[in-house]
Amino acid sequence: MNKYIIAAALSLLSVSTFVSTTSYAQANISPAAKQSQAIAITGATIHIGNGTVIENGTLVFDKGKIVSVSAGGGAQSGATEIKANGKHIYPGFIAPITNLGLTEFESVKATLDFNEIGNMNPHIRSLVAYNTDSKVPATLRSNGVLMAQITPQGGTIAGSSSVVQLDAWNWEDAALRADDAMHINWPAIPRSRFGRSTMSEEAMRERRDAALSELEAFFAESKAYAEGKPSVTNPRLAAMKHVFDGTEKLFITADNQKDIVAAVNFAKKHKITPVLVGGDEAHLITDFLKENNITVVVKQPHALPNSVDDDVNMPYKNAAVLANAGVPIVISIDGYWQQRNLPFMAGTVAAWGLDKEKALQAITLNTARALGIDKTAGSLEVGKDATLFISTGDALDMKTINVEQAFIQGRNISLDNLHKQLNKKFSEKYGLKVN
pLDDT digits (tens, 9 = 90+) for 169-191: 999 999 999 999 999 999 988 76
Is residue 112 a contact partner of residue 154, using CB atoms and an 8 Å limit?
Answer: no
Q: Is the dihedral of CA 88, 91, 95, 101 positive or negative?
A: positive
Using only the alpha carbons of the chain, give its radius of gyration.
Answer: 23
pLDDT digits (tens, 9 = 90+) for 13-54: 444 444 444 444 444 578 999 999 999 999 999 999 999 999
72 DSSP 8-state letter:
S
25-34, 171-180, 385-394, 411-420: which range is least confident on average? Answer: 25-34
Intervals of CATH 3.20.20.140 along the chain: 93-377
Instruction: Give the number of other Cβ atoms within 10 Å of residue 55's Cβ.
Output: 10
Residues 6+ apart with CB under 8 A from 181: 149, 160, 161, 248, 249, 250, 251, 275, 371, 372
Is residue 296 a contact partner of residue 279, using CB atoms and an 8 Å limit?
Answer: yes
pLDDT digits (tens, 9 = 90+) for 72-81: 876 676 889 9
Q: What residue type is assigned to position 423 of the chain? A: N
Helix residue spans in 132-251 (DSSP H): 136-141, 171-174, 201-227, 235-238, 241-244
Whether residue 242 has pLDDT greater than 60: yes
Is residue 102 a contact partner of residue 126, using CB atoms and an 8 Å limit?
Answer: yes
Is residue 96 a contact partner of residue 299, using CB atoms and an 8 Å limit?
Answer: no
pLDDT at 200: 79
Q: What are residue 273's phi and psi, to 5 degrees?
A: -100, 110
pLDDT at 353: 92
Residue of 425 and 376 predicted with greater confidence: 376
Residue of 68 and 10 predicted with greater confidence: 68
Q: For 93-377, CATH number?
A: 3.20.20.140
In the structure, what pLDDT confidence band is assigned to residue 345 with cuts at 50, 70 and 90?
very high
pTM: 0.89
Cα 155 from Cα 237, distance rounded (Å): 16
Q: What share of the chain is helix, strand, coil (3-state, %, to 5)?
A: 35, 25, 40
207-222 burial, b for 16+ CB within 10 Å, e for fewer?
A: ebeebbeebeebbeeb
Determine the length of the chain.
435
Is residue 217 a contact partner of residue 194, using CB atoms and an 8 Å limit?
Answer: no
Cα 338 from Cα 326, distance rounded (Å): 28
The whole-chain average pLDDT of the chain stands at 88
pLDDT at 368: 97
Cα 232 from Cα 427, distance rounded (Å): 63
